[in-house]
Amino acid sequence: VCPLCGAPHHFIYDNNGGNGQYQCKVCGQTFSTGDSTTTPMRFLCPHCGHTLVPKKDRKFFRKHKCVNPKCPYYLHNLAKVERKDLKEEHGKTKYKLHYIYREFTVDFFAMDLNSLPKNASSLKFSKHNAYVMSLCLTLHINLGLSLRKTSQALKDLYNISISHQQIANYCKTAAVCIKPFVDH
């Protein structure tokens, strides 16, 4: 049966010689059926394109590292280190020369939000939503605006009325939620 138009199997034909792709004669939709196999997720170095190798498993994240000796990121960092430092014991391992990526494994929404400190708001929004919280964090943290200027910017730019105290509560909540990610 075609998933788009619902045409019966008489109107479906094998599109690529038994490799699992079918096409509907009525609407022209191509689709595949059966169990699809997925390859495990691979992380690539943004500088050289090589696959990152998992190096360490921590409580909340897994560290992946680019081990390509010809990676431009590695070569650039290696050139900044003085030669005498490289000849010492643990010379190269003393510095983080390779590209490192952290894959977070903690389920953000499974966090215990009952243990939030005073003045921190829960993530169950009553008046505003997560988008407004993200705007508050972007303006206050990324742009470095004060709480009152953030409140005024939200009013001027997006016509969102929110108090500076609510922005402070959102910032405190975000800080508590991301603390486990940045402590290690």
Write out pLDDT tens, residues 30-50: 877 654 444 567 788 889 989
The total domain count for the chain is 3
Distance (Å, whole) CA 50 – CA 99:
11
Asked whether residue 116 is assigned to any structural domain, the reply reads no
Q: Tell me if 64 is assigned to some domain.
A: yes
Mean pLDDT of all residues belonging to the chain: 80
| Residues 67 and 24 both lie in one domain | no
Please report whether residue 38 resides in a domain. Answer: no
Does residue 134 form part of some domain?
yes
Which has the closest alpha carbon to 158: 134, 175, 126, 123? Answer: 134
pTM: 0.47
* E strand map for 47-173: 53-57, 61-65, 100-104
Q: Is residue 67 part of a domain?
A: yes
Q: Residue 34 is encoded by which pair of tokens?
A: 């059966």
Say if residue 59 is in the same domain as residue 99. Answer: yes
Clarify whether residues 127 and 100 are in a common domain: no
C-alpha to C-alpha distance for 2 and 25, rounded to whole angstroms: 9
Cβ(100)–Cβ(149) below 8 Å? no
**Is residue 113 a part of any domain in this protein?**
no
More confident residue, 75 or 158: 75
Read off the pLDDT of residues 135-145 as tens digits, 9 standing for 90 and up: 898 899 988 89
* 178 part of a folded domain: no
Q: Are residues 127 and 158 in the same domain?
A: yes
What is the number of H-type helices and E-type strands within the chain? 5, 6
Task: Indicate if 61 and 99 belong to the same structural domain.
Answer: yes
Task: Give the distance, in angstroms, between the CA of residue 170 and the centroid of all CA atoms in the same chain.
Answer: 20
| Structural domain that includes position 149 | 121-173
